[in-house]
Amino acid sequence: MHAMTYALEGLGTAPIPPAVQHRPDLAVKAAPPVRAGESPDAQLKLDGVSLSFGGVTALDNVDLAVSRGEIRAIIGPNGAGKSSLINVISGVYRPDRGRVLIGGDSYAQVPTDRLARLGIVRTFQNLALFKGLSVLDNVVAGRAYTVRSTFLGQIARIGTARREEADARERARRILAFLNLEDVADRLAGTLPYGLQKRVELARALVAEPDVLLLDEPMAGMTATEKKEMAGFVRATRGAHGTTVVLIEHDIGVVMELSDRIAVLDYGRKIADGTPEEVRTDQKVIDAYLGVVPENEDGAGI
């Protein structure tokens, strides 16, 4: 049993990043509210997905609907199937049964080589940056899927290749400004503090202009201050770009304050799905994962 903790009280008022506050072209728009149980405009769905490894069940008949423009969290104990679910969505795993629906298209296995073109981009729990390249070059790499020029054209940097490179660098600089990383654009990524490296990884994902952003523990290893800043950037990303976010995160304080809806997995099964308030008071979730619900200063359950 896991004790429920709220390490980031007040996260709901996390400041909008300064770069977003002061640039009209990056203005944050209010996202439409998402109500419990609603998915009238589902952008991503899992339909009866099951997955096992050597007889061990990772996912058991999981249904999930993610509405356009929402921040959707997936939580559960270690080994509950959270990463397996993200790997199914991103095409790393082919489920034994069930399908993934992206927009109007259905897949037995999502094609990884077309993932970005399908509008889905993911980050990883462990940093996957090119540490010997500059921050700018790392972010530019996120536009690789858009390249149409020939290999020789890229070597000579002429014609289409030159235009593509200029466009990618301009888009990358805009994202760096959005994430308040302009001052480190020319630094080697590997020389940055861990929290900034995580933000660079987010920048590389965002420069691909995803419709759906899969975040696998984006705040793991961060300090409370860094988590608060990252939460503000995730919220601003949804507001400014309308990006749908699917989030795996162990910090329950982050999840409860940041998410519109939360799905809870336990031993590969989905045991709850609803708003943060519904999930944190669900007895099945308390028993399987959250533990005793803490009380606030007035003695009432949070």
DSSP per-residue codes, 20-76 = HHT-GGGPPPPPPP--TT--TTEEEEEEEEEEEETTEEEEEEEEEEEETT-EEEEE-
Q: Which amino acid is at 97?
A: R
Burial class (CB in 10 A: 0-12, 13-18, 19+), 180: middle
Does residue 54 sit within a domain? yes
Integer Rg of the chain from CA: 20
Query: What is the pLDDT, as a whole number, of residue 40?
Result: 53
C-alpha 165/C-alpha 162 separation (Å) is 5
Does residue 140 sit within a domain? no
Burial class (CB in 10 A: 0-12, 13-18, 19+), 33: exposed
Which positions of the chain have pLDDT values less than 50? 1-16, 19-20, 22-39, 149-154, 156, 294-302
48-54 LR contacts (CB < 8 Å, sep 24+)? 48/97, 48/98, 48/99, 49/85, 49/88, 49/95, 49/97, 49/98, 49/99, 49/100, 50/95, 50/96, 50/97, 50/98, 51/81, 51/84, 51/88, 51/93, 51/95, 51/96, 51/268, 52/96
Does residue 49 sit within a domain? yes
Does residue 180 sit within a domain? no
CATH at 71: 3.40.50.300
Does residue 93 sit within a domain? yes
Query: What is the pLDDT, as a whole number, of residue 24?
Result: 40
Query: What is the pLDDT, as a whole number, of residue 4?
Result: 34
C-alpha 80/C-alpha 86 separation (Å) is 12
Report the DSSP beta bridge partners of residue 247: 73, 215
C-alpha 168/C-alpha 29 separation (Å) is 25
Tokens 């999981």 correspond to what residue? Answer: 62
Q: Which residues form the domain of 240?
A: 42-119+210-291
C-alpha 175/C-alpha 130 separation (Å) is 18
C-alpha 235/C-alpha 21 separation (Å) is 13
Collapse the DSSP code of 5 into the 3-class scheme (helix H, G, I; strand E, B; otherwise coil) and give the result.
coil
Q: Residue 260: which of 23, 107, 85, 43 has the closest Cα?
A: 43
C-alpha 296/C-alpha 292 separation (Å) is 13
Decide if 237 contacts 213 (C-beta within 8 A). Answer: yes
At 168-201, the pLDDT tens digits run 999 999 999 999 999 999 999 999 999 999 999 9
Does residue 113 sit within a domain? yes
Total structural domains in the chain? 1
Does residue 241 sit within a domain? yes
Query: What is the pLDDT, as a whole number, of residue 136?
Result: 97
